[in-house]
Chain A
Amino acid sequence: MEELLEILEEMHPDVDFRTCDTLIDSNILDSFDIIALISEIKMEFGVTIPPDEIIPENFNSAKAMYELIERLSD
């Protein structure tokens, strides 16, 4: 989780990713962020996110993203 938070904080140092759960709904992340995130997750965690998992629900909070990574690493 810390690694993921580090990636996110690098993108938006001004956002509190520990608490925010409306990253998509509040337009905090944009399409460039999503693209960058997916490639960072691949590099850091070795997890490829398939297209049908690229949906708002999986990216609204750091927690949801982390759960997705865990689920896909199994």
Chain B
Amino acid sequence: MQTNILEYLDYTVKRVPDKIAYSNGETGISFREVYDQARAIGTFLNRQGVYKEPVVVFMNRHPKAIVAFYGVVYGGNFYVPIDEEMPRFRIELILKNLNPRAIICDETTRNIVETFQYDGGIYLYDDIVKTPIDEEVIGRIRQASIDTDPIYVVFTSGSTGIPKGVVACHRSVIDYIENLSEVLGFNEDTVFGNQTPLYFDACLKELYPTLKFGSTAYIIPKNLFMFPIRLVEYLNEHKINTICWVVSALTMISAFGVLDKTVPKYLHTVAFGSEVFPMKQFNLWRKALPNAKFINLYGPTEATGMSCYFIVDREFNDDEVLPIGRPFKNTDIILLDDNNRIPPKGEAGEICIRGTSLTLGYYNDPERTKEVFVQNPLNDAYPELIYRTGDLGRYNERGELMFISRKDHQIKHMGHRIELGEIEYNVNLIEGIKSACCIYREETEKIELYYVGDIDSKDLATALKQRLPRYMVPNIIRALDEMPLTANKKIDRVFLKEHYAKNKRGTK
């Protein structure tokens, strides 16, 4: 039985050592290089006495960053990916939560790391991959590893303003990769085109199946997602046949009429998730690629990547919604109503997840872990955790699971999971702000911020960019004379949504 995620690589490197594993189109790294450089990093970390600890990987979007992840795991540690685009304030919160003793960086990020309040080791990727591999050390670390040891921590938005670090172990990732690969039909001929950032769990879909099958994954440069024709040309140039993208990346291509001009002709597997796919756009894709397999995926980071899938097997009208289908093998979905009971057939309940795919919880945060990783209320005979997603779902008449909405103020924007509370928390920390409220307008897909305070919207935008990741900065920022309140003196979100700017500038 496989107990370590790196067994995929140990096996594949013997089979196809010279094949390119990861490339960005310009630089490619072969399986042999991945294997050797990762073990060199593992050896290096061991020499520094870093073992069973979080190791931050703070590098640009590049194949080398992926090798660094594996290097951290070879050393018996777990990686924490951080991106150059994350604002400093957020990175410092993350460092405070982790208290790491090692950061791996590249030439450009090193200068940034050096300005942090951080006194651990700063290691340059290009230096540490030169470490002579100590096979004995690497073997010993592997011997001692068990499949419930963590392999990564990724941070997700938290409603109190502090990001939460989700910790995943070998076992949950292996479970995910095995079952995802079976459903999507990956194999050695799969050529992945990765779109999702390397600092989220979404990229697991390409990273680990590449190791498992000896496939090739292209890490598509981020800028191409602004220029749809060039993006399609890139897909065709590299004969990319499998993509797992957020919906907004796909609609960017279809909405601008690109598919009438040029088609990503090698694509045969198109998976997507994180958001509802507008059916009109989806049907444009289906028409352009009539023979491709389309799969809708659903799942929270807390249950390792994705938990449910729906393979599109019939026509959908423009006013219908794609189901999220059914759970992957070895994962169970339970719907629970407000009384923690299973609702009658066809009625809504909170989507709760049971199984090996559950992650270990939030790093260094027992309080918030306990709120959502809870004892299965249907079982009082022995300890059994479920994860409460906070998503509402129901089964349709075909027995397929449908996503309805959130129970709280969490939103999905451009594929990112965001707590509006985290934005508000950060706005309220800025000097001069008296009160603030964020709403999300689904029709325009914009985050709107309303505030009362002695600061103009320009300065507020500048201040927010320093605190929040780009995708969390509100698209519309509007000052109000006073905040509308409900009878209970709470901010009236409904009123804000109905009475203020729909998108037009200057309308109040």
**Chain A residues with a Cβ under 8 A of chain B:** 6-7, 10-14, 24, 27, 29-32, 34-36, 38, 49-52, 54-56, 59
Contacts and interface: CB of A to CB of B under 8 A. Distances in A.
B229 A10 contact: no
Given A13-B477, A31-B225, A36-B475, 11 more contacts: A13-B460, A14-B459, A14-B461, A14-B462, A30-B226, A32-B475, A50-B256, A51-B228, A52-B229, A54-B228, A55-B229
Contacts of A7: 505
Contacts of B255: 35
Given A14-B465, A24-B223, A31-B252, A51 B458 contact: no
A11 B256 contact: no
Contact of B227 (A14, A27, A54): A54
Contacts of B458: 13-14
B287 interface: no
A54 B505 contact: no
B257 A51 contact: yes
Given A12-B461, A31-B252, A24 B477 contact: no
B476 A38 contact: no
20 contacts: A7-B505, A14-B458, A14-B461, A29-B226, A30-B226, A30-B470, A31-B414, A34-B227, A49-B256, A50-B256, A50-B257, A51-B256, A51-B258, A52-B261, A54-B228, A54-B256, A55-B227, A55-B229, A56-B226, A56-B227
Contacts of A27: 223
Contacts of A55: 227, 229-230
Contacts of B425: none
B229 A32 contact: no
B118 interface: no
Which of B226, B227, B255, B261 has the most CB atoms of chain A within a 10 A radius of its CB? B226
Interface in B181-240: 223, 225-230
A12 B458 CA distance: 8
B504 to A, nearest CB: 9
In which size bucket is the chain B interface?
A: 20 to 34
Contacts of B476: 10
A29 B223 CA distance: 10
Interface in B248-284: 248-249, 252, 255-258, 261
Contacts of B462: 13-14
Contacts of B457: 13
B471 interface: yes
Contacts of A12: 461
B433 to A, nearest CB: 16
B256 A38 contact: yes
A3 B508 CA distance: 18
Contacts of A13: 457-458, 460-462, 477
Contacts of B257: 50-51
Contacts of A59: 226
B477 A32 contact: no
List the 10 closest pairs (A to B, CB-CB), nearest first: A13-B458, A14-B462, A51-B258, A31-B225, A13-B461, A31-B226, A34-B226, A51-B256, A14-B461, A10-B505
Contacts of B229: 51-52, 54-55
A59 to B, nearest CB: 8
A55 B227 CA distance: 6
Interface string B423-466: 00000000000000000000000100000000001111110010
A34 B475 CA distance: 13
A50 B459 CA distance: 35
